Amino acid sequence: MMTPEQQQAIKKHADAIAEILYADCNSEELKTLEDIEIKVKEQILTHVSPEIGFFLSAQLVERKQEEQKH
């Protein structure tokens, strides 16, 4: 379970990511909640999810290397 500090860190970073992604989109295209949802999903899949995947993959490789040492 996440600590309150971890939850706060996620909020802080998510807000920063949201600002970057908002600056990258044409706000004129965001007229409805559906438009926003579609754009958010597109940007998350394009920019955020791959970075999380790379991070988790690196952690897995690191853990397996540590296990092999022992």
Per-residue pLDDT tens digits for 21-39: 999 999 898 999 999 999 9
Rounded to two decimals, the pTM is 0.76
The reported pLDDT for the residue numbered 23 is: 93
Q: How many domains does the chain have?
A: 1
Structural domain of 27? 4-69
User: HSE (CB half, 13 Å, CA atoms) of 69?
Assistant: 6
The reported pLDDT for the residue numbered 12 is: 98
The reported pLDDT for the residue numbered 6 is: 98
Average pLDDT over residues 46-58: 96
**Chain mean pLDDT for the chain:** 94
Q: Is it the case that residue 70 has pLDDT exceeding 90?
A: no
List Cα–Cα distances, 67 to 5, 16, 57, 58, 63, in angstroms: 29, 35, 15, 14, 6
